[in-house]
Chain A
Amino acid sequence: MPFSKNQMDPDPPEDSPSNSTNSEGANAPQSPFPDEVLEKVLSFIDSHKDRSSVSLVRKDWYNAERWTRAKLFIGNCYAVSPEIVARRFPRIKSVILKGKPRFSDFNMLPRDWGANVHSWLVVFAKVYPFLEELRLKRMFVTDESLELLAKSFPGFKALSLLSCDGFSGNGLKAIVSHCRNLTELDIQDCVTEDFAGDWLSSFPENFASLEILNFASLNSEVSFDDLERLVSQCKSLRVLKVNESITLDLLQRLLMHASQLTELGTGSFSQELTPRQYEEIERAFSNCKNLQVLSGLWEASSLYLPLIYGACAGLTFLNLSDVALQSGEFAKLLAYCPNLRRLWVTDTVEDKGLEAVGSTCPLLEELRVFPADPYDRDQRDGVTEVGFLAVSRGCRKLHYVLYFCRRMTNAAVVTIVRNCPNFTHFRLCIMNPREPDYLTNGPMDEGFGAVAKTCTKLKRLSISGLLTDLTFEYIGKYAKNLETLSVAFAGSSDRGMQYVLEGCPKLRKLEIRDCPFGNAALLSGRGKYEMMRSLWMSSCAVTIKGCRLLAKEKPGLNVEVISEEENDESQADKVYVYRSVAGPRRDAPPFVITF
């Protein structure tokens, strides 16, 4: 396998790791400095992209790099195998491992699709006894795996599970009771069945090393006494995010022990309070002088929001996506947060609320607006182009936006990117598929075209609304830094997809659903997919035959199909294409066709 340019995953290895002095022939120039020096210098390089580049320079650099790499980043667990990784990198202490394609977040993949972490842990247990950190995203993690993890690495410090599933409280119990040096337990957005909360009580008696604890998305009731003891003992605790079972009065007691927190996720924020309790809680919040990140606030109402005012002066990230605020109380709260850089809200704040954002948050860099009523049950308005415009006028530093709305216009989008040309992430979701421009009733081509053209730093783009091939032509022509593109219900013909494949040199992830792109479009990217992490196509016009052809032409790609039927002419419902040095995966469930 040749070395490829932009890859994020570990390079395919040479036949066997060899010493620079042995493998270089007489013609190769000697290295100007000894290996030890090179290794020492390289040990300062952290970024895996840089390390990838380093390893491509020459063989001795490749070797020096592999011996000094301590952090592993694997963007697609199926792109490489644990054995290959273990062979190349002997001294790993920290691993980031990502599994399922992103659309699995939206229930587009059956539960047992794969990405089971267990086989990785078995190899790591043998090869990396000094492993300290494991960060998993969209992986399937069983209790058995967590137990293996807990028992195999005596120095284990940090576990982070993002969008994972498959485990229960028993697995957490194992981690918590065996990992004596645990500093981080961070569980976010995980799909978990109801399970008992006694895992928290399994921390050893005098345990004091925790710095990060996040169990906000777990629905188990934990023993408050044990939690309080834990928090009071862990003097270095800086991140605490509790779940809804912790009420305001209990939270106050925790805050008494942990006023040094920099990140706080509250529990349930609605409770009968006596005036005395109210005061105490207010004081507890005011004592948190170091707070930078605040989230949770479930069921917070205008009655109780003022409790947090005293803690907001230093806030840089306010996450209100779990609470349905109205514009009035939201605006009042914003007045206390002059330093906001990141803001997540629900669209119950409406355009009026976003106008308040525009006028009070000049430092804002990231805005995410989530829909309170995504399935349109209550016919609520949410936000429109008006709110987005207001934000763009007031927040000139905005570079990341995720915006769910029900109507938008080309004119607004054009103005927005003129106001904020520095977008790196532009994710606009007009929730009704194929929704036209609200004013002109035409396609949203010009709006997204303006985004591609004006935002030269654009790395990530999600498009929506009524879109023809013209949008893709614009993207292919202008979005030269684009790395991730998400497309739904858009395009008129194969040309659309082809424009993007031909035009975007840095494209790494392309995910498409419900578009009229067929085999011709799929195959036109045959030379490109090996330079990308992955391609996802679902409910498009691709057939099994097209997938088979692609797989045949490109042995370096894994082409996987989920489909109702298996004959050549039938539509391939879900297509997942990714480069891999590990060959077709052997753990594919029966409903996944691998070629």
Chain B
Amino acid sequence: MSPPLLGVEGQSQCNVSFMASSASEDYISQNGLGLKERNYLGLSDCSSVDSSAVSSVAEENKNNLNLKATELRLGLPGSQSPERESDFSLLSSVKLDEKQLFPLVPSKDGICSLPQKNIVSGNKRGFADTVDGFSESKATMFTEGNWIFNAAGSGSDSGQPKLSGNVLSNRSSGTQSDIKAEAPVKATQKCDNKTNGSNTNSAPAAKAQVVGWPPIRSFRKNTLSTTSKNNEEVDGKPGPGALFVKVSMDGAPYLRKVDLRTYSTYQELSSALEKMFSCFIIGQCGSQGAPGREMLSESKLKDLLHGSEYVLTYEDKDGDWMLVGDVPWGMFIASCKRLKIMKGSDAIGLAPRAVEKSKNRN
């Protein structure tokens, strides 16, 4: 069964190039974009992906293409560690239907994570793998300086416990209307190798969810956060903590959405956005005369990003466009309505110094 692809028509080369990753050594040693194929849900490869996506990536890399991971899915939040592959195939044997794509399995929901101990790249499952793939290579590939903004008082961010998702207290994420949707799976698969809070490196067994268990009330479904209404959660209803904002980028053909509550520092947000939008940068290298996409070496990519003059800005409650990074994280997410990745030149009015900074990097 082929999973639905978001915007199949609009599926550009971008999706493939950045969304796939692997945690393996291959990744780096190969041409910087070694993509490992993953059988995400235990579903067979979708041939339509092959045809549209391949053209954008080097022939040599084709067999490393992680086709499943590159598909843009109508995102149910999930940032999984690479080891989850095995868990998903396990689950798929339990029930394989549409519900797979909106798994009841509590995967590593971006939404539901409280203080981040690892970087969560965002909530679209498609590029979830990048989190781990990048964690080792991050230092070499995407450095902080690529996104130019003031990381103001990182200390103020760290102490903030983020209440994310619907995880609180007497709320269950199930709703009455979802009773039929949730297949009552009686058995739970116990996870033997639970690690403490480390999402990336553990391989927790996918827990089958049991209807009405644990016995938590579900009286609060929607929150007042206007953006969260668009959020489809695993269990059908948004949680009180989700805070989705649109992210646009100059020159990109479509916008993205991120849940600000899945991050607790500017650092995390910036990394996530980098990953999300790097394809647009790579996409531009062709237009700037770079030798096409065949041999995107690691160093070449680095150059590209270092050289980029992008500034992250946001629109606050009053409608003003501000530079991201000036205020403490908590204040930022309380007032941020949408994000925009501007070209440095456009951002002159916002922060001349920031633009200077970017120029100096080159």
Contacts and interface: CB of A to CB of B under 8 A. Distances in A.
Interface of A: 103, 105-111, 163, 165, 188-191, 194, 217, 219, 221, 243-245, 268, 270-272, 298-299, 301-303, 321-326, 344, 346, 348, 370-381, 404, 429, 431-433, 486, 488, 513-514, 539
A372 B168 contact: yes
- List the 6 shortest-distance A-B pairs measured between CB atoms, nearest first: A370-B169, A106-B212, A189-B219, A377-B106, A321-B169, A375-B106
Contacts of A110: 176, 179-180
Nearest to B162: A324
A111 B199 contact: no
Interface in B121-162: 159-162
Contacts of B328: 303
Given A374-B216, A379-B204, A433-B188, A194 B222 contact: yes
Contacts of A429: 214-215
Interface in B203-246: 204, 207, 209-224, 229, 235, 240-241
B265 interface: no
Contacts of A302: 159-161
Given A217-B219, A378-B114, A379-B195, A106 B330 contact: no
A373 B112 contact: yes
Nearest to A300: B163
A487 to B, nearest CB: 11
A303 B215 contact: no
A378 B223 CA distance: 22
Contact of B216 (A106, A324, A380): A106
Contacts of A107: 172, 174-176, 178-179, 182, 211-212, 218
A270 B113 contact: no
A324 B220 contact: no
A525 B177 CA distance: 34
Give the residue among B184, B190, B219 with the most A Cβ atoms within 10 A.
Answer: B219
Contacts of A165: 176
Give the residue among A217, A270, A378, A486 with the most B Cβ atoms within 10 A.
Answer: A378
A324 B109 CA distance: 17
Give the residue among A324, A375, A376, A380 with the most B Cβ atoms within 10 A.
Answer: A375
B197 A103 contact: no
Nearest to A346: B169
A272 B170 contact: no
Contacts of B109: 377-378
Given A106-B212, A111-B176, A303-B330, 20 more contacts: A107-B178, A110-B176, A188-B219, A189-B219, A191-B218, A217-B219, A219-B223, A221-B224, A270-B330, A272-B335, A322-B240, A324-B161, A346-B169, A371-B167, A375-B209, A378-B109, A378-B112, A379-B204, A432-B188, A486-B215
Interface of B: 106-109, 112-115, 159-163, 165, 167-170, 172-180, 182, 184, 186, 188, 190-191, 194-197, 199, 202, 204, 207, 209-224, 229, 235, 240-241, 327-328, 330-331, 334-335
A348 B161 CA distance: 9
Nearest to A372: B167
Contacts of B191: 376, 379
B186 A432 contact: no
Give the residue among B168, B194, B209 with the most A Cβ atoms within 10 A.
Answer: B168
A321 B221 contact: no
A372 B330 CA distance: 20
Given A303-B330, A380-B114, A374 B196 contact: no
A251 to B, nearest CB: 14
Given A107-B218, A111-B177, A322-B168, A381 B114 contact: no
A376 B207 contact: yes
A346 B168 contact: yes
A165 B204 CA distance: 37
Contacts of B106: 375-377
A486 B212 CA distance: 13
17 contacts: A108-B179, A108-B211, A191-B176, A219-B220, A243-B224, A244-B224, A303-B160, A303-B328, A324-B114, A325-B161, A326-B159, A371-B169, A374-B167, A376-B106, A378-B109, A379-B202, A433-B210
Contact of B168 (A221, A245, A271, A321): A321
A106 B218 contact: yes
A488 to B, nearest CB: 7
